[in-house]
Chains A and B, each alone.
Chain A
């Protein structure tokens, strides 16, 4: 069974781009379109290997989502933040909250895939 990656981003374009890269590589991709939906998909897909999460989103932002999920379950799915943000304060907060990676958009497909492979392992 293929490994599942949850993509949480309010931009449909970004979700599609990520899905294309990961699906081509053999991962299952689950999408969520805001922080609230993201929390729901994480709880529905407890077996997911990785979450790729935007920061600036409606309802709940990515870092608050990370904080919430992390507080509920210390062994939660690893997070890669995929964002246009590059401020070191935000990055440091993400590190503190346990994020495993930070990619500044726009992303380079092979770099994203390399990061996913490193954290989630091979697709199957």
Chain B
């Protein structure tokens, strides 16, 4: 197609020979033309001209043969003589338009009828253009080339239009319909909320991120595709049905992104049928996957919302199914949950909190409170745990119990955690220069999600650098769960923190797996005995035994040990008796703002000063360790949380 071909004109008017470039036409292969004429001589001339410019030419002498050739060869263009035996050109043109691929192909009528009525009739029959006899072959070839080029452009536009339309409504990875397709389907298939029937399933894989993290994103993508295939089979959603959501289909499977899928099934009439379908999804998704030489098992959490039972309208059914899915996640995963009204209220409240949390970061609505840790033996201030508080302009103090889980779920815990780190380091740095508080450590809680965040270490470095805090003045508190979920990365991160000089504490020790192996594998400095043991140690012998064992073990391993939630003198005395190193709890002080903390520390120094001779001469008797004074308690009242219970001190990241 690139070389120049010489056209020897055989035109009726004897056009001169000239060179044409067939490359002007950009079709992938040589253009194919069908010439239909019962007059052999006339047909021969036309065929010869077209072959001369590089066309592949098929011939037919009548309409019936033309249709057959058209079906077999699928030409790019057809030239039809109007007056043909058995079936005239107009009839052939109409029939051709009905054939597969015939709808868009250019059809040029060859005629000696040039009256307006004939042309009009021909266009109505589907003709693209007319060539009147006698034919000028040179002009004919130009005309045909021009028509092919135009038709090619139209084809390109059409196919790119189709591609764009497909892309707009389909997920690139799985080819399944996407969220827009879902919206369209909901409108076209569910229609009137009062009469709509059916169920919506939101399906989210459990722990999918671990597949991505351990086997890589390509494997994760493969898994998602296979899950999509299994669910298609599960709901008998064939590819074509799924890809034309505006068709008569009564079901739709769509991928909402990530590892979340949705099924809308308008054929399900009852709760039982929906529950059955939900169980089928769990079965299908839960079968073993073979992925790059690994056998992978993954489960799903499924939320179902039903139309027609009065709890859901079409407008919010997807949101409701989503809430039910989260409910399934919270209940051990790998199960199916139905939407209930109560879930909706919870979801709305969470959404409100999420939006307000974003605002809170921007508007600086968070504060840090500090709860002292006191050396059990000496009564000296050893450190403080920084605990986040949220003062919302309208809601007042919001309990961490209410907002930390939302922050975890939305990932906002990462920026919030960074803020806590910076703020705590800044405060600790100021206190390091205060003779009364110098040498104390500030502990900051780090959630699993923060811990996995690739920028976490850098944010610790940055917080230390910008505050000028000695790294030994900072302690990060993590739970065992954090170590459990990400052993290799976790160990590296802890080593890095350790190298930096930061202290590491294991929080809530005794409540989780409490694998003693952790203590050897990970560079831990401090164990924090969970408050539940401290609470029960005076009444429950096993709590007392566990507390004693943790303290003894920590002392043997030369680890620091902190008892949390100490509220009474009796608890303090018992802990001191078993050699627990540090005490934290309401007995000394609830978490308090920085200024109050400073006053509290100064008050203790005055108290210590009074007791100084005794303290120097012998160990301080337990009863002499100053608890929070009445005056302190009064000064705290305006800042304490509603309820003022230890339970409100859910720390950041739990």
A residues at B contact (CB < 8 Å):
86-88, 91-92, 95, 100-104, 106, 108, 111, 114-115, 118
Whether the pair A88, B67 counts as a contact (CB closer than 8 A) is yes
Interface pair B63/A102, CB less than 8 Å apart: yes
Closest A residue to B102 by beta carbon equals A86
* A/B interface sample: 22 pairs, CB < 8 A: A86-B95, A86-B98, A87-B95, A88-B67, A88-B68, A88-B95, A91-B87, A91-B95, A92-B64, A101-B85, A101-B87, A102-B63, A102-B91, A104-B90, A104-B94, A104-B95, A108-B118, A108-B121, A111-B82, A111-B90, A114-B88, A115-B88
Q: Contact check, B64 vs A95: say whether CB atoms are below 8 A apart.
A: yes
Q: Do the beta carbons of A86 and B97 come within 8 Å of each other?
A: yes
Nearest CB of chain A from residue B610's CB, rounded to whole Å: 110
Nearest 7 A-B pairs (CB), nearest first?
A86-B95, A104-B91, A104-B94, A88-B67, A86-B98, A102-B87, A108-B121
CA distance A80 to B85 in the complex (A): 12
Q: Nearest chain-B residue to A114 (Cβ)?
A: B83
A93 to B118, CA, bound (A): 29
> Which residues in B have their C-beta under 8 angstroms from that of A118?
85
Interchain CB contact under 8 A, B86 and A95: yes
B99, CB-defined interface residue at 8 Å: yes
Whether, in the assembled complex, B71 has its beta carbon less than 8 Å from a beta carbon of chain A, the answer is yes
* Least distance between B313 CB and chain A CB atoms (Å): 46
Given contacts A86-B98, A104-B94, A108-B121, A91 and B67 within 8 Å (CB-CB) = yes
Contacts of A108 in B (CB 8 A): 90, 118, 121
User: Measured between alpha carbons, how far is A92 from B99 in the docked complex, in Å?
Assistant: 14
In the assembly, what is the distance between CA of A87 and CA of B99, in Å?
Answer: 7
Per the bound structure, the CA–CA distance linking A118 and B98 in Å amounts to 27
Chain A neighbourhood of B99, CB < 8 A: 88
Shortest CB-to-CB span from A18 to chain B, Å, is 15
Q: Do B98 and A87 touch (CB < 8 A)?
A: yes
Q: In angstroms, how far is the closest chain B Cβ from the Cβ of A53?
A: 15
Q: Mark B64-88, 1 if CB is under 8 A from A, else 0.
A: 1001100100000000001101111
Chain B residue nearest to A90 (CB atoms) is: B95
Contacts A95-B64, A111-B88 supplied; 20 other A-B pairs, CB < 8 Å: A86-B95, A88-B64, A88-B68, A88-B71, A88-B95, A91-B63, A91-B67, A92-B64, A95-B86, A100-B86, A101-B87, A102-B64, A102-B86, A102-B87, A103-B87, A104-B87, A104-B95, A106-B124, A111-B82, A111-B90
Asked if B88 and A91 make an inter-chain contact with CB atoms under 8 angstroms apart, the answer reads no
CB neighbours (8 Å) of A111 from chain B are 82, 88, 90
Task: Name the CB-closest residue of B to A86.
Answer: B95
- Give min CB distance, B123 to chain A, whole Å: 12
Shortest A8–chain B CB gap in Å is 18
Closest A residue to B83 by CB, please name it: A114
> Complex Cα distance A106/B67, Å?
19
Bound CA–CA A104/B90 (angstroms)? 8
Using A88-B67, A88-B68, A108-B121 as known contacts, say yes or no to A103 and B95 having CB atoms under 8 A apart: no
- Indicate which residue in B64, B83, B125 contacts A91 across the interface (CB closer than 8 Å): B64
Residues of A contacting B85 with CB < 8 Å? 101, 118
> A54 to nearest B CB, angstroms?
14
In the complex, A87→B67 CA distance in Å?
9
A residues less than 8 Å from B96 (CB atoms): 86
How many Å from the CB of A86 to the closest CB on chain B? 3
Q: How far is the CB of A26 from chain B (nearest CB, A)?
A: 22
Q: What residues on A are CB-neighbors of B67 within 8 Å?
A: 88, 91
Residues in chain A near residue B86, CB distance under 8 A: 95, 100-102
Interface centre among A86, A91, A115, A118 (most CB of B within 10 A): A86
Q: Is A103 touching B91 in the complex (CB atoms < 8 A)?
A: yes
Specify which chain B residues have a CB less than 8 angstroms from the CB of A92 in the assembled complex.
Answer: 64, 68
CA distance A87 to B88 in the complex (A): 15
* Chain A nearest CB, measured from B112 CB (Å): 12
Nearest CB in chain A to that of B115: its residue: A110
| Shortest CB distance B94–A (Å) | 4
Contacts of A95 in B (CB 8 A): 64, 86
A101 to B99, CA, bound (A): 19
A87 to B63, CA, bound (A): 12
CB-nearest residue of chain B to A108:
B121
How far apart sit A60 and B215, CA to CA, in the bound complex (Å)? 68
Task: Give the shortest distance, in Å, between B299 (CB) and chain A (any CB).
Answer: 53
Q: How far is the CB of B187 from chain A (nearest CB, A)?
A: 35
Q: How far is the CB of B85 from chain A (nearest CB, A)?
A: 8
Q: Which residue of B lies closest to A92 (CB)?
A: B64
Give A9 to B59 CA distance when docked, in angstroms. 34
A56–B632 Cα distance when bound, in Å, is 100
Report the separation of the CA atoms of residues A87 and B68 in the bound assembly, to the nearest whole angstrom.
11
Chain B 152-183 against A: per-residue CB contact (8 Å), 1 yes, 0 no?
A: 00000000000000000000000000000000
Neighbouring A residues of B94 by C-beta, 8 Å: 86, 104
Report the separation of the CA atoms of residues A108 and B99 in the bound assembly, to the nearest whole angstrom.
22
A101 partner residues in chain B, CB cutoff 8 A:
85-87
Contacts of A100 in B (CB 8 A): 86
Tell me which of B85, B95, B118, B124 has the highest count of chain A C-beta atoms within 10 A of its own C-beta: B95
**Quick one: closest A residue to B71, CB to CB?**
A88
